[in-house]
Structure 1
Amino acid sequence: MRPLDAFAVADWLRAFAADVAANEALLTDLDRQIGDADHGANMNRGMRAVAALDPAEFPDARAFTKKAAMTLVSTVGGASGPLYGTLLLRLAAALPPDGPIDRDAWSVALRAAVDGVRQRGRAEPGDKTMVDALQPASEAFDAAQDDPWGAAARAADAGREATTPLVAHKGRASYLGERSAGHADPGATSAAMLIRAAAGTLS
Structure 2
Amino acid sequence: MVEGSANTLTAAWVVAWLRESARVVGEQRQYLIDLDRAIGDADHGENLDRGFSAVVKKLDDGEAPATPAAVLKLAAMTLMSSVGGAAGPLYGTAFLRGAAALGDAQEVGPDDVVGLLTAARDGVVARGKAESGDKTMVDAWTPAVEAAGTAALAGASVTEVLAAAANAANAGAAATEPLIARKGRASYLGERSAGHLDPGAVSTGLILQAAVDAAGGQQ
- TM-score normalised by L of structure 1: 0.95
Q: What do residues 25-48 of structure 1 show as CA deviations (whole Å, max 9, x unaligned)? A: 100000000001011111000010
1:91 is paired with a residue whose SS is helix
- Aligned residue for 1:66, secondary structure, equals helix
1:87 aligns with 2:88: no
Matched-pair contact (CA < 8 Å) for 1:117–1:131: yes
Shift of 1:2: 3.2
| 1:52 and 2:52 are equivalent in the alignment | no
CA RMSD in angstroms comes to 1.5
Q: How far is the alpha carbon of 1:61 from its aligned partner?
A: 2.1
Structure 1 residues 143, 189: closer, same or farther in 2, change over 3 A? same
Partner Cα distance (2:78, 2:124) in 1 = 17
In the alignment, is residue 198 of structure 1 matched against residue 199 of structure 2? no
| Gaps in structure 1 of 5+ consecutive residues | none
Q: Report SS of the residue matched to 2:58.
A: coil
Bigger Cα displacement from structure 2, 146-155 vs 68-77? 146-155
- Of residues 17, 36, 41, the one that matches 1:36 is 41
d(CA) in 1 for partners of 2:11, 2:123: 22
Contact 1:31 1:38 in 2 (8 A): yes
* Superposed structure 1 runs of 4+ greater than 6 Å apart: none
| Alpha-carbon distance in structure 2 between the residues aligned to 1:100 and 1:65 | 13
Which shows bigger deviation, 83-92 or 145-154? 145-154
2:113 aligned with 1:100: no
2:108, 2:17 → 1: CA distance?
15
For residues 55-85 of structure 1, the C-alpha deviation after alignment (integer angstroms, 9 at most, x for no partner) is 7342322222111101101111111110000
Q: How many residues align?
A: 203
Aligned residue identity for 2:146: E
- Unaligned runs of 5+ residues in structure 2 are none
